[in-house]
Structure 1
Amino acid sequence: GINLGKLKEMIHEFFVPSQKQGEEVILHLRQKLLLEAMLDCLIEGQRLLKEGHLEEIYAEEIRKTIPLIGQLTGEIRMDEIIKDIFSRFCVGK
């Protein structure tokens, strides 16, 4: 729980660079939605931590940010995610 603030600070520094005069940050809607989803997970994890839930409970919320970060950085592509989901189900059998 101690490092949650540090994690948020690191994510903020990575995704919100300091703006120099004349420099702009342009986000696509997809990037904005991914960042908002990450923030929601972190806020929920922080809420669960403050309420005294077990470490496994709030850690799971924080873990949800990992694939979102992968999607944002391009390490995880949506077609790979869809392929993985369908590989787990027997369709038409």
Structure 2
Amino acid sequence: MNGKSEATGKVSLRFPLKERDEIENRRREDAPLSAPNTEGNVWPKQVCPAFEPRTGAPEGMRQCWYCRCADFHLNKPRSLDVGVCYWPKKTES
């Protein structure tokens, strides 16, 4: 399924449609945001210009998972895979 183009010398990877779609979705989920997604879903590895680290966040880690404005229910028995952005409010949860 993978091949090398004789003309360019580049390797092209071909994935089954379902797997390719999963890769595309993963990229979108991890992509940085140009602005806060207020009242919308945010994925743990996303980040926006309004990022504010929550208490106890690792130094230099800029991801929604560690943002004061994102709610992943970290104070509940089970955290969420997808959080909600409440910017400009701070949740600390």
Q: Same fold by TM-score, threshold 0.5 exceeded? A: no
Considering fraction of residues, name the structure with more strand: 2
Larger Rg: 2
With the length of structure 1 as denominator, give the TM-score of the two structures.
0.31
With the length of structure 2 as denominator, give the TM-score of the two structures.
0.31
